[in-house]
Amino acid sequence: MARELLLIALVVACGRDKATKPRAAAAGPPLASKAFYRVDAGPNAPCTSGTTCEVRLELTALGDYHVNKDYPFKFVGDPGPPPAGQPAVQIDGAGTFALDDAKHGIMTIKFRPTASGTAKLVGTFKLSVCSDETCEIEAPKLELAVPVS
Amino acid sequence: MRILTSLLTIIILVAAGASSRADGKPEAQSPVAGKPAPDFTLKDLAGKDVKLSSFKGKVIVLEWFNPGCPFVKRSHTVGSLVDTAKRHTKAGVVWLAINSGAPGKQGNDLATNTEAVKTWSLTHPILRDEAGTVGKAYGATNTPNMFVINKAGTVVYAGAIDNSPDGEGKSAEGGTLINYVDAALGDLAAGRAVATAVTKPYGCSVKYGS
């Protein structure tokens, strides 16, 4: 019984350690952040022109905050034309959000680039995190550069 | 092996206790839906007593309120609560907002509530339930959390204001925005049973004390 309790305590302790860190190996600065959340670019598979590609955004709730699991997370693509010399991208829908655990979630955005180069996905990530004291609704504007072969 | 057995037992117990809908989401529940509305007397922002049972024979809407909650702010500025109370009170419905936030918690203070009345042009009373007893009697969990009481004093609707959990009316589940309070009041006005009696509220948690 004591061994079982020790094992549970270790599992909980390990979970707590992971809780405040982003899952992705975020070498650079976050795409967006405030004191209570950060958004990092997740790992992405290679993207080929003319096919459906995916990019992932990793949301991490910081401090006492957790991801608001009831919120309808969305990525609303900017309808503007692509910058000169860059491939146009067609974003499919508003993305799909999956909760990893109380502190982390992944937004997967599907898009279709029409040419090779560096595709720029520009849009607003609508997100919410809560603590026991308050909830926050945020809508950071993000710009993602995706290499397209 | 013993750990595995314990874990399996826990999983089976949790699965047996959880009720779910056909789409896999948990069934919305309310401790007061279909039951007589618990009576209460609370003070409004001017310190005047307001007693629920004094409105006997009228249709009443209770709106759990916290002016500091971003979901309440969005509902009152762009979402389904914009002018909704005004529309229905003109038709004879009694609309009462209740703030069950404990002293020191978000949205509890008098000045913030008074400012919200002004900013959002609210014409209905905001009642203060700092002890949280009324909120707990109704099982209010979120702001906003809505309750509709029919003329006989029975709670005929409990749950969210609408099916768009962003508070803005822009993310309606199923693609069509449904204001559940409008729908319930429409059913009552038409002499029908309320078609959707319970939904799962969304928004901030009610900032109860201990």
Residue A39: the pLDDT is 96
Q: Which residue has the higher pLDDT, B45 or A115?
A: B45
- Is residue B9 over pLDDT 80? no
CA-CA distance, B174 to B171, in Å (whole number)? Answer: 9
Return the CATH number at B43: 3.40.30.10
Please give the full DSSP string across B75-133, using - where no structure is assigned. Answer: HHHTSTTTTHHHHHHHTT-EEEEEE-PPTTSTT-SHHHHHHHHHHTT--S-EEE-TT-H
With cut-offs at 50, 70 and 90, classify the pLDDT of residue B111. Answer: very high
Question: What is the rounded average pLDDT of the residues B64-88?
Answer: 97
pLDDT of residue B28: 80
Assess: ipTM above 0.85: no
Identify whether the C-beta of residue B206 lies closer than 8 Å to the C-beta of residue B141: yes
- What is the average per-residue pLDDT within B103-122? 97
d(CA A133, CA A130): 8
Q: Is B202 on the interface with A (CB under 8 A)?
A: yes
Assigned domain for B4 exists:
no
Chain CA centroid to CA A93, Å:
16
Question: For A72, which of B105, B171, B205 is closest by C-beta distance?
Answer: B171
The answer, yes or no, to whether residue B21 has pLDDT greater than 60, is: no
Instruction: Give the pLDDT confidence score for residue B54 in this predicted structure.
Output: 98
Averaged pLDDT score across all residues of chain B? 90
| Residue A94: closest C-alpha in chain B | B171
**pLDDT score, position A42:** 85
Q: Is the pLDDT of residue B160 over 80?
A: yes
Please compute Rg for chain A using Cα positions: 18
- Name residues of chain A where pLDDT drops below 70: 1-27, 82-83, 87
Is residue B209 less than 8 Å (CB to CB) from chain A? Answer: no
Number of Cα atoms under 13 Å in the Cβ half of residue A29:
5
pLDDT at position A28, please?
74
Q: How many helices (H) and strands (E) does chain B have?
A: 6, 9
Domain membership flag for residue B102: yes
Task: Name which residue leads in pLDDT, B72 or A13.
Answer: B72
User: How far apart are alpha carbons A32 and A111 in whole angstroms?
Assistant: 21
Burial of B51 (0-12, 13-18, 19+ CB in 10 A): exposed
Q: pLDDT band at B11, cuts 50/70/90? A: very low
Identify the residue among B142, B200, B205, B207 best suited for mutation to test binding to A, counting A beta carbons within 10 A and taking the highest.
B205
Give pLDDT, residue A94. Answer: 87
Q: Which domain holds residue B98?
A: 21-205
Contacts of B2 in chain A (CB under 8 A): 4
* Domains defined for chain A, CATH in brackets: 2-148 (2.60.40)
Note whether residue B171 is domain-resident.
Answer: yes
Q: Could you tell me if residue B159 is inside a domain? A: yes
Q: Which of B6, B71, B171 lies at the smallest CB-CB distance from A135? A: B71
Number of structural domains found in chain B: 1
Q: What was the pLDDT predicted at B26?
A: 61
pLDDT score of A21: 62
Amino acid at B127: L
